[in-house]
Chain A
Amino acid sequence: MAITKRQAAPLAKQTFEYAPAPEATDHIRIQPRYGLFVGGRMLEPHSKKRFPTINPATEQKLSEVAEADAVDVGRAVAAADKAFTSWSRLAPSLRARYLFRISRLIQERARELAVVETMDGGKPIKESRDVDIPLSAAHFFYYAGWADKLEWAFPNRRLRPVGVAGQVIPWNFPLLMLSWKIAPALAAGNTVVLKPAETTPLSALLFAEICQQAELPPGVVNIITGAGKTGSLLVSHPAVKKVAFTGSTEVGKLIQRTLAGTGKRLSLELGGKAANIVFEDAPLDQAVEGIVNGIYFNQGHVCCAGSRLLVQESIAKPLLEKLKQRLSTLRLGDPLDKNTDIGAINSRAQLEKIQGLVASGVEEGAEIYQPECRIPERGFWFPPTLFTNVSQSYRIAREEIFGPVLSVLTFRTPAEAVEKANNTPYGLSAGVWTDKGSRILWMAERMRAGVVWANTFNRFDPTSPFGGYKESGFGREGGVHGLLPYLELT
């Protein structure tokens, strides 16, 4: 049978351009100026001072927030101290009820919180929507469950709450870090004064509204805004019985020095320089995803980021090829776009820090790779970056960059992998990629890191304790362990 022309049509070069898909912002109501949330009400700051908070993707001002001075801090701590008497004696099941209510309200206002988090901090909406906000709600939900079961958490012990907790949180996961701090504190019967980071105060101020909506008794949660000065006033206030800080190791050390001899309790969750270790038998394509998720998630603004890739030398070449190819598919741009993978760097100061460290890497002789990507004209941006030919002694292999910058090192044997991974002043997290179950356990026993992820990275759950070794801090957040810093056990 003769068949005449059934030829495929000639095709033009095809490109799949994703049209902009921005999350709507018209439902967001950000007030032009905010006060301090003290004793259940928004108060004008005694300082009369305010400072702007901007959208790092556009450099546009979003609002003005108060800068709390010593008097403001004193008022907030006093409100918390006053509330402590009744809150700590409240029937535990009633405390649980408030926490459940807060969890539900976070879920109800999830979209709004996600958009505000992205506008104020620069992180991609898909992360604030799918990670930050759901995990925040989950944290309150989880600790609400513990509130009336504390005596089963620590059997045969007498327990009582510590008192007023002064909590200072960072700008990388504003609402999530707030939840990590406030939920266990309240469940255990403490009251809190919390200071969000100066560049990302808005979600905490929305959380103040949620406390009002939940009809939380006045003073149980107080939120004061300001910069480092305010934070230092808070942690050194004599009525604060417990200090919880998440942030840089530098500031952590400063706080520990300040608190020495005061009898205050302290937990610190500080920096990291995590090793992500890929063995030759690892599932490579998934390892590549894990590496990307480990260091480029939230622009690398993650204390437990897998910023050092330790790859077995025998597979370094194919793995790096795959990784570079994958980097070229990362979409950098408008954080509110649902297809954005890499958002804006949180602040100009952080951008400059990243630029400085990257320059040092080039200077010290590492080979830099950055995929082609269009950088928006306004705002703070840094392309996903990969360094090869890195030695353990380079600054980029030792210092926390807190940006989308990965240093690649190689190893030959499991023992060498352990040695290199542990050869850092930090010890927050680590990742192991191998098909061999026994090797995962062997590695996990030897890693000096608070979390060891196996064949995954940057995975969080409220039931799992999180915290560091060495200069990454002490104390655990999450799980039953997360209650300990907020309880006196006798």
Chain B
Amino acid sequence: MATALSLSHLGSLMRGVRSVDEVGANERAASLAQRSIKKSSKLWALDLAIRCIDLTTLEGSDTPGKVAALCAKAIRPKPGDASIPSVAAICIYPARVADACEHLQGSRVRVASVATAFPSGQSFLSIKVAETKAVVAAGADEVDMVIDRGAFLSGDYQKVYDEIVAVKEACGPAHLKVILETGELGTYDGVRRASILAMAAGADFIKTSTGKVQPAATLPVSLVMMESIRDFMRETGRPVGFKAAGGIRTSKQAIAYLVIAYETLGPDWMTPDRFRLGASTLLNDVLMQIEKERTGAYQSGDYFTID
């Protein structure tokens, strides 16, 4: 549990955050995205990608039936092929948590719920805390909260910090992923500041986006967040996980994120305990690529279940 920081300490923490050169960060991310991952390493990465997926549905139209189907897919992405692992978690709205818990009972797939007035975060702290407690009580293993971007952009870092601390406390044993919504932060400097702030406040994971705002996850933004994680680890000894979410649809993208994590954070982050990909349609593309690597031929989309 992070100890609460006073205003002056938080101020000096934020002032001490190093700047990011945008051109340089973009270039580094682009060069890492050029890594050529083939054959055995591709299969290894695709297998890991599946194990790191937070299979997501966050729609107003989500029903118990939709969640049931997604849970089945999460446990067994490719029916009849036992070599394909389960995904890491299901990511859903609070109202669907109980449904998901029921379907995932006995499996290794965890239940993650968004909370804290997702996606905008524009609500009262008491409601955010109450919502967090409610989803944990309903059985969520992981909580994906959003930061208050309004407070962050107006310079009220203390409010952002205090909210994260309060939500972390409300989580109890559940893991807390803090969504920075980088698409609304405007600069990489802002992304880096928000990353350090969230980690100092006790985040178990920092996450790029809600998926409801464009741009969502990008490679350079992820690089900046991972570099913040690396620096935080060096300073405090505490490892923090990373989750990219929003717009990750292809295996190639997923592998690029893994490569950046591997070359920035190292082998210790090549595990669902510290790395996640939030995605809804990525899984089938990964399955298709695995099949292609194994057989040398692309299968029709009809051979992969749409859930």
A residues sitting closer than 8 Å to B (CB atoms) are 1, 3-9, 11, 13-21, 126, 130, 281-287, 289-290, 321, 329, 338-339, 435, 455-456
Contacts and interface: CB of A to CB of B under 8 A. Distances in A.
A287 B61 CA distance: 47
A3 B270 contact: no
Contact of A1 (B36, B101, B110, B141): B101
B48 interface: yes
B139 interface: yes
Please report whether the interface of chain A is mostly helix, strand, loop or mixed according to DSSP. Answer: loop
Given A18-B41, A329-B263, A4 B271 contact: no
Contact of B272 (A3, A8, A18): A8
A313 to B, nearest CB: 17
B38 to A, nearest CB: 5
Contacts of A284: 18
Given A9-B108, A455-B24, A456-B24, A16 B262 contact: yes
A320 to B, nearest CB: 13
7 smallest CB-CB distances across A and B, nearest first, come from A286-B24, A21-B36, A14-B270, A286-B21, A338-B36, A283-B21, A19-B41
B70 interface: no
B108 A6 contact: yes
Contacts of B33: none
A286 B25 contact: yes
B188 to A, nearest CB: 9
30 contacts: A3-B139, A4-B105, A5-B106, A6-B108, A9-B85, A9-B108, A15-B270, A16-B44, A16-B45, A16-B267, A18-B36, A19-B37, A19-B39, A21-B37, A21-B38, A126-B34, A130-B34, A282-B19, A283-B18, A283-B19, A283-B21, A285-B18, A286-B20, A286-B21, A286-B23, A286-B28, A338-B36, A455-B23, A456-B23, A456-B24
Given A1-B138, A17-B44, A455-B21, 7 more contacts: A1-B139, A6-B110, A13-B267, A16-B259, A17-B41, A283-B18, A435-B19
Given A17-B41, A289-B24, A6 B271 contact: no
A88 to B, nearest CB: 42
Nearest to B140: A3
Contact of A289 (B28, B39, B137, B139): B28
Contacts of B34: 126, 130, 338
A289 B110 CA distance: 38
Interface in B75-110: 85, 88, 98, 101, 104-110
Given A285-B20, A286-B24, A8 B40 contact: no
A3 B135 CA distance: 13
B108 A3 contact: no
A239 B63 CA distance: 87
Contacts of B98: 1
A321 B104 CA distance: 44
A16 B85 CA distance: 18
Nearest to B24: A286
Nearest to B268: A14
Contacts of B104: 6
Contact of B35 (A7, A13, A14, A18): A18
Interface in B266-282: 267, 270-273
B109 A6 contact: yes
Nearest to A286: B24
B27 interface: yes
A15 B137 CA distance: 37
A290 B19 contact: no
Contact of B101 (A3, A7, A15): A3
Contacts of A5: 106
A52 to B, nearest CB: 31
B116 to A, nearest CB: 22
A283 B24 contact: yes
Contacts of A19: 37-42
Contacts of A3: 101, 105, 139
B53 to A, nearest CB: 14
Contacts of A435: 19
Contact of A7 (B19, B108, B138, B259): B108
Contacts of B101: 1, 3
B114 interface: no
A130 B139 CA distance: 51
A18 B258 CA distance: 12
Contacts of B36: 18, 21, 338-339
Contact of A339 (B35, B111, B270): B35
Nearest to B109: A6
B227 interface: yes
A16 B261 CA distance: 11
B211 to A, nearest CB: 23
B19 A6 contact: no
Given A1-B101, A4-B105, A16-B258, A290 B39 contact: no
A20 B41 CA distance: 9
A456 B23 CA distance: 9
B27 A289 contact: yes
Given A14-B270, A290-B24, A455-B21, A6 B141 contact: yes
A375 B19 CA distance: 36
Contacts of B137: 1
Given A13-B267, A286-B21, A8 B110 contact: yes
A16 B141 CA distance: 28
Interface in B106-139: 106-111, 137-139
A122 B25 CA distance: 28
Contacts of B9: none
Contacts of A456: 23-24
Contacts of A285: 18, 20, 24-25, 28, 227
A17 B48 CA distance: 13
A435 B259 CA distance: 28
A16 B41 contact: yes
Nearest to A20: B38
A427 B213 CA distance: 49
A19 B255 CA distance: 14
Given A14-B267, A339-B36, A8 B19 contact: no
Nearest to B88: A8
Contacts of B35: 18, 338-339
Interface string B134-155: 0001110100000000000000
A8 B112 CA distance: 13
A19 B44 CA distance: 10
- The winner among A11, A17, A281 for most chain B CB atoms within 10 A is A11
Contacts of A20: 38
